[in-house]
Amino acid sequence: MPSLQQTFGARLRELRTARGWSQEHFADVCEIHRSHMGEIERGEVDVALSTLAKLAKGLELTGGTLLKGIL
C-alpha cells in the first residue's frame, strides 16, 4: 500500500502533467528547487504547510482541492 507521501506525490504529478508542465517549470512557478519537487512527487519527503501552500497556489487550487481524495 502506498504511503501518504507517495499518494500525495502521485496526485501532484497527475495535476502537473494534466497541465502539460514539466517538473522544472512547475518547480519554478512554485519557487521550489527542482530536485525537491522530484522528492515530493516520488513521496520521499513530508511536505511542510508552507510548501503545500506554494504547490496549491502554483496549480491555482485551494489546499483542500489539492488534498482531495488523499486523506
What are the two backbone dihedrals, phi and then psi, of residue 35, each rounded to the nearest 5 degrees? -65, -35
Summarised one tens digit per residue, pLDDT across range 5-25 is 999 999 999 999 999 999 999
71 pLDDT band (50/70/90 cuts)? confident
Query: Where do the domains of the chain lie, and which CATH numbers do they carry?
Result: 4-58 (1.10.260.40)
pTM of the shown model: 0.93
Instruction: Round to whole Å and give the CA distance between 25 and 34.
Output: 8
Q: Is the CB of residue 70 less than 8 Å from the CB of residue 7?
A: yes
60: alpha, beta or left? (left if phi > 0; alpha if psi -120 to 50): left
Instruction: Round to whole Å and give the CA distance between 22 and 38.
Output: 11
Length of the chain: 71
Summarised one tens digit per residue, pLDDT across range 24-57 is 999 999 999 999 999 999 999 999 999 999 999 9
